[in-house]
Amino acid sequence: MFEHGWRRLAVSTGAALMLVASSMSAAPVLAAVPATGHTLPANTRFYVPPPDKGAFTQIVDLLKHRDVKDAFLIGDMVTTPQAVWLNGGTPAQVKKSVQKTVFGAALQKSVPVFVVYDIPGRDCAQYSAGGALSLSDYGAWIDGVASGIGKSKAVVILEPDGLGLLPSLCGLSSTVYPFTDADRYAELNGAVDRLEQQPNTSVYLDATHSAWLNVPDASTRLVTAGVQRAQGFFLNVSNFQFTSNLTQYGTWISDCITYATAVSPGNYGCPDQYWNGGPPNNWNGVALNNYGQWSDTQTQADLNTAGENARYATMLGTTVPTTHFVIDTSRNGQGPWNPPAHPAGDAQDWCNPPARGLGLQPTANTGVALLDAYLWIKTPGQSDGQCTRWAPSGGLDPIRGIADPAAGAWFPQLALELVANANPPIELPKFLK
């Protein structure tokens, strides 16, 4: 349905060629590969939702100014599979919305990725404030989501920041923010159990990213929230960390969950990213550096992960970790932004950072046993919020010199940066090179 509307717009603006090229660049369907449990087959095709209306407007404007190359790049970005965010409405309304997406995915012969984002006290009442008002309201809303999915195949990203921003960490008075950690864990456990009743739904919980929670903390929160009854956890939603670092981090979390539940129950004393000591470096550890890519063979001490991996191998012995994960690669092609030093402190490096790029294309063919998929979860091109960085009382983003759009609104400048800096690069047709 959306493809027909897109073609009409493309023809009316001279963009038909751009659409055809974008469609031809989509990954081919591979031979069938069996899945284990809810693990996605390697040949999974993910759903392409209708693009943000702001993207249409930007493409039309670019074509009016004869900037066909950038129009093609934005077109390619918005016709790449990405998640559908569910963030409010009544149970009946969200059920209808989910059913509509499931129907669209069936027409595309694809699997939809839903972001469930309606937890009470969402985002510590900050940029993306909102959510259900109570545990019972949230449970009814989750039931609407699950009922809308039915027996269809679907991926559910359950509550970004839901475990990273626990209510106790919000620093707000209980009179204005009447939510507790116990409430949050009850809400997430209930959501996992309800959503996992659907026979083909894979649910993933929040494990933040490699520059946020340490491995023991993330593992403890995940187990408390019911990750062992879900498919696994997700990483890097709306962030920019390197895929290689996230893969290591996710593997360590899965290792730690296994160690603390199967090898040494209750013992979350696991190696993490903030100290990499171990036998390979004679226990001379340092914190890992987020601004470079980690590996066991890196010669730079703060990028080398051999110490942690050696320790996990000893701790686990023959016990095999089983908790799976997915990574948001929608905007991490250039890694995280390293902001300039500033006396005012917080650079809001997560908020519309400059010169970032699209990352790996969505695929379930990752080549890593525990890594189910690379997904575009954050909608690339949409603003993270009205970033004021070191000038919290001002209206302008000091890095960009403009007022950033509100969270979720289309941000044309950001969209152009993402496509220009994509890694791997977007392949252009010959006539545009």
**Chain segment 208-243, per-residue pLDDT in tens:** 999 999 999 999 999 999 999 999 999 999 999 999
Q: How far is CA 75 from CA 56, 146, 263, 334, 413, in A?
A: 9, 32, 49, 21, 15
Q: What is the pLDDT of residue 24?
A: 35
Q: How far apart are the first and last CA of the chain?
A: 31
Q: Residue 126 CB: number of other CB atoms within 10 A?
A: 13
Domain of 348, in residue numbers: 2-274+305-432
To 10 degrees, what angle do helices 412-420 and 53-64 make? 80
Q: Could you read off the pLDDT of 361-409 as tens digits, one per residue?
A: 999 999 999 999 999 999 999 999 999 998 876 789 999 999 999 999 9
104: domain CATH number? 3.20.20.40
Phi-psi region of 94 (alpha: psi -120 to 50; beta: other; left: phi over 0): alpha
Tell whether 298 is covered by a domain: no
Looking at the predicted structure, is the pLDDT value of residue 16 above 60? no
Three-state DSSP at 298 gives coil
| Number of compact structural domains in the chain | 1
- DSSP codes joined into one string, 336-379: ---PPP-TT----TTSS-TT----SPPBS--S-TTEEEEE--S-
Q: What is the pLDDT of residue 69?
A: 97
Pairing relationship of beta strands 232-235 and 201-206 according to DSSP bridges: parallel
Tell whether 22 is covered by a domain: yes
What gap in Å lies between CA 372 and CA 363, rounded to an integer? 9
Dihedral sign (CA 418, 423, 429, 433): positive
Mean pLDDT of 76-103: 97
Tell whether 111 is covered by a domain: yes
- Among 11-25, 43-57, 105-119, the least confident range: 11-25
Q: What is the pLDDT of residue 269?
A: 97
What gap in Å lies between CA 185 and CA 169, rounded to an integer? 14
- Among 169-178, 257-266, 348-357, the least confident range: 169-178
Q: What is the pLDDT of residue 70?
A: 98
What gap in Å lies between CA 290 and CA 302, rounded to an integer? 9
Tell whether 245 is covered by a domain: yes
Question: Residue 37's pLDDT band (boundaries 50, 70, 90)?
Answer: low
Mean pLDDT of 31-40: 54
Contact predicate 153/111, CB 8 Å: yes
Tell whether 290 is covered by a domain: no
Mean pLDDT of 144-167: 97
What gap in Å lies between CA 329 and CA 199, rounded to an integer? 27
HSE value, Cβ hemisphere, 13 Å, CA-based, for 386: 10
Tell whether 251 is covered by a domain: yes
Tell whether 120 is covered by a domain: yes
- The residue whose two tokens read 């069996």 is 34
Q: Could you read off the pLDDT of 277-292 as tens digits, one per residue?
A: 999 999 999 999 999 9
Rounded to the nearest integer, the mean pLDDT of the chain is 91
What gap in Å lies between CA 421 and CA 394, rounded to an integer? 29
Three-state DSSP at 240 gives coil
Contact predicate 212/250, CB 8 Å: no
Contact predicate 235/328, CB 8 Å: yes
Tell whether 297 is covered by a domain: no
Three-state DSSP at 288 gives coil
Question: Residue 2's pLDDT band (boundaries 50, 70, 90)?
Answer: very low
Q: What is the pLDDT of residue 315?
A: 98
Q: What is the pLDDT of residue 171?
A: 87
